[in-house]
Chain A
């Protein structure tokens, strides 16, 4: 089945450690995104990539890094510089179809907890 797969579903990190969240899509979408969700805050954009080997910072990129070496994959690394990393992380991909518009799809999310 086509879709977006995020792994792991739950992740625990010790303070000072870097962790990498995986996001893979087989929808052949060019654009991919990472969002962070905190209670009552909605979804905030961390990074996005509209093409392989290129990515842009979103609203809250500090303490995070990404790579886009393959169209299918957009991993997010939460570095030790991120002071409050405990949150729910959602990956998305999108495609723009002429005359139909933008379609965006989300993974099931990764819940990261700092212990």
Chain B
């Protein structure tokens, strides 16, 4: 069965600190997709990144970086030099997907609430 665990319920940092949000997943499939979404107070889910299970390259986008390690079933998200605007709830999600085209559902972790204080 699929499962996503975000062990950190809430994190509070001071502006300019680096912060890492942890995500551990469970799946029996060899082909799957991992996602990070940001949910600001307004409520909409903002897509941040998608990573395919066959692509273990880490990715950097500005102040954001993601570390995907299949050996530990983890997909951690780091914000460098955090800013107040980074304050939000961040969700990690997993989807198993048949390569032939059928689509798996997105299974979410419970989210990590990040508060960045000035």
Contacts and interface: CB of A to CB of B under 8 A. Distances in A.
Interface of A: 30-31, 33, 35, 40-45, 48, 50, 58, 88, 90, 92, 94-96, 98, 101-109, 111
B64 interface: no
Nearest to B39: A37
A42 B103 contact: no
Contacts of B95: 94, 102, 104
A96 B9 CA distance: 31
Contacts, number: 66
A7 B33 CA distance: 29
B110 A92 contact: no
B106 A104 contact: yes
B47 A105 contact: yes
The prevalent SS among residues of B at the interface is: loop
B43 A96 contact: no
A10 B33 CA distance: 32
Contacts of A33: 105-106
A102 B111 contact: no
Given A30-B103, A50-B102, A101-B50, A42 B110 contact: yes
Nearest to A96: B103
14 contacts: A30-B103, A33-B105, A33-B106, A42-B108, A43-B108, A45-B105, A45-B107, A50-B102, A88-B43, A101-B52, A103-B50, A104-B47, A106-B37, A108-B43
